[in-house]
Amino acid sequence: MPEPACQRLSIRTQGAGFYEITRSIIPMLEGTGVLTLFIRHTSASLLIQENADPDVQTDLMGFLTRLAPHADHPQMNWLTHRIEGPDDMPAHIKAALLPTSLQIPVIDGRMLLGRWQGIYLVEHRDAPHAREVVVMLR
């Protein structure tokens, strides 16, 4: 059976926040090359960040929320895209600032992540969403 050109990872999110996917990626990897992870959405992101103290994730979410609050916050009264809810346009802003794709070197099926690096899907929307990530090693 030929090796598939790419694989898919599905993640169900339950509100804005960090969802670690490092362990879901590991069994998908064989051989050597550059791993590309690509998220097929414009209101969620992929991010490599510290995996030790969960407070880091809390503070990153706090920073993003202060930088781009919901559309009903006075700081955002200039927003025009409002039809999909007060969390939608800020979600696009955060998705513009954080990565849509990640690239990680892989040797013999092992990602060369640093000791404190974990791979996260960052959900920017409040409601539950089904997110899809394309996984490709070349």
Burial environment of residue 3 by CB neighbours within 10 A (0 to 12, 13 to 18, 19 or more) = exposed
Residue 94 token pair: 């955060």
Q: Of residues 62, 72, 127, 128, which one binds a second copy by CB under 8 A?
A: 62
What are the C-alpha distances in Å from 124 to residues 41, 107, 115? Answer: 11, 32, 26
Binding mask 9-28 for a second copy (x = CB under 8 A): --------------------
Instruction: Return the closest-CA partner of residue 72 out of 93, 84, 62, 86.
Output: 86
State the binding string over 97-136 for a second copy (x if CB under 8 A, else -).
xxxxxxxxx-x----xxxxxx--------------x-x-x
Q: Which residues in this chain contact a second copy in the complex, by CB under 8 A? A: 5-6, 32-34, 36, 38-42, 47-50, 53, 55-56, 58-60, 62-63, 66-68, 78-81, 83, 89, 92-93, 95-105, 107, 112-117, 132, 134, 136, 138
